[in-house]
Amino acid sequence: MSLFISQAHAAAEGAPADGGGMQMIFMLIVFGAVFYFMIYRPQARRAKEHKNLMEAISKGDEVLTTGGLIGRVTKISADTPYVRVELNENNSIVIKKDFITAVLPTDTIKSI
């Protein structure tokens, strides 16, 4: 019967694990700090910058959308989250403010 079942031998008394719980708590604190500084903090900073960009948009600004379109803001309202962007003299679109990636320098459209 010992052919299929290995015999269990009791381990000799060893030294007790010193600080096992403290090491776990320390590792959790280190992991939390890494998570905060590498993931949460940069993302929160980016979100804050984007929010400030959305508040600073005004009529006449040239903007870049997430879809890659470049146009000039022709109508903006504080009541709604939408803006009208004129792509050229014949085409204009209505998009959400959230989809504006950047405000471009003046006369960027003319230089392209």
Contact status, residue 106 vs residue 69, Cβ threshold 8 Å:
no
Q: Are residues 72 and 93 in the same domain?
A: yes
Mean pLDDT of 33-61: 93
Residue bearing the bigger pLDDT, 75 or 7: 75
Task: Return mean pLDDT, the chain.
Answer: 86
Q: How confident is the model at residue 16, as a pLDDT?
A: 56
Q: Which residues contact 66 (CB under 8 A, 6 or more apart)?
A: 99, 100, 101
Mean pLDDT of 24-43: 94
| 95 belongs to a structural domain | yes
| 11 belongs to a structural domain | no
Mean pLDDT of 99-110: 90
Q: Are residues 69 and 106 in the same domain?
A: yes
Out of 11, 33, 56, pick the residue that ends a domain: 56
Q: Are residues 92 and 75 in the same domain?
A: yes
Out of 56, 78, 101, pick the residue that ends a domain: 56
Domain region containing 73: 58-111
